[in-house]
A = this chain, B = another copy of it.
Amino acid sequence: MGDLIMQPSNLKVSPKYSESKEMYLKALVELDVFVSPTVSRLANRLGVTQVSANEMVRRLTDQGLMIHTPYKGVNLTKKGRQLGNNVLRRQRLWECFLYDYLKVEWSRLYELTCNLEHNTPPEVTESLAIYLNNPAQCPHGQPIPTVDGECKSLKGIPLNQLGIGESASILSVTESPLEVVEHFSQQGLLPGKHITLVNTTPLQGPLTLQVGQAHIALGLQMAEQILVKRD
C-alpha cells in the first residue's frame, strides 16, 4: 500500500555533523574582538573541558578552518571566518525577528535563538533578511554579517575608556550570560542610549554613569562589554 509518503527527502535523521562545529566557529568570531582567544577561553565559552576543545580545534584545524598557535591563541582562516559569520548572520536575523515581531524579551534573545541558527537553511535566512528589510544590526547593536560572510566591525570604544565627564551613546553590548544581559536591561543600558561617565574608582572599582536622570554604578568588567561612541 501507499508507501509514497516515505522518505520525504531531507528527513535525514542523523547528519548533525557540524552543529558543534558551528558553535565553535561562532564562538571564535565572537571572542576574537581584540586578541585571538586561547583554547581554554574557547572551552570556557562553550562550556566544555579544555581537552575537548583542544580536540575539536585540532579537527577544525585539519579542515582548514582555523589555526592554533600553542600558547598564542586560535585564529580563524578566511574560510572559517566566513562560516562563522554565516552562523552569526542567521542568529542575529532571528534575534531581530524575535524581538521586533514576536516581542520576545530583550534579555532572552541570545539564549532563545542560540540553537535556532543551526538548521536554518540559506533560503530561509535570505527570505527572512528580506522580510526584516535587511537590518544592519541585531537588537544588541551587533552588526549582522552579509550573505557572503563579511562583517565590518563597529567603530567604537569600550565604555571604560571614556574620560570622566564625557558623554557617549551606546553602540552595542556583548552577548553575555543571562544575568549580565538582564542587568544591562534593568539599568537601561541598551543600544542607542546616551550615557555620561560621572566618575571612576581605582583598583578595578566600579564606574558611575548617568543614564537618563539616574546615576548607576557599573562594574568594570560589565563596562568592558559595552561599546560606545563619543558624542
Contact = CB atoms under 8 A, between A and B. Distances in A.
Interface in A28-87: 30-31, 41, 44-48
A109 B149 CA distance: 26
Interface string A1-44: 11111111111111010011001100100110000000001001
A114 B8 contact: yes
Contact of A46 (B1, B11, B31, B110): B11
B101 A112 contact: no
B3 A114 contact: no
In the complex, the count of this chain's copies comes to 2
Given A116-B124, A124-B104, A8 B221 contact: no
B111 A221 contact: no
B120 A98 contact: no
Interface string A150-163: 00000000000000
Interface of A: 1-14, 16, 19-20, 23-24, 27, 30-31, 41, 44-48, 98, 101-104, 108, 110-112, 114-116, 118-121, 123-124, 127-128, 130-131, 174-178, 180, 221-222, 224-225
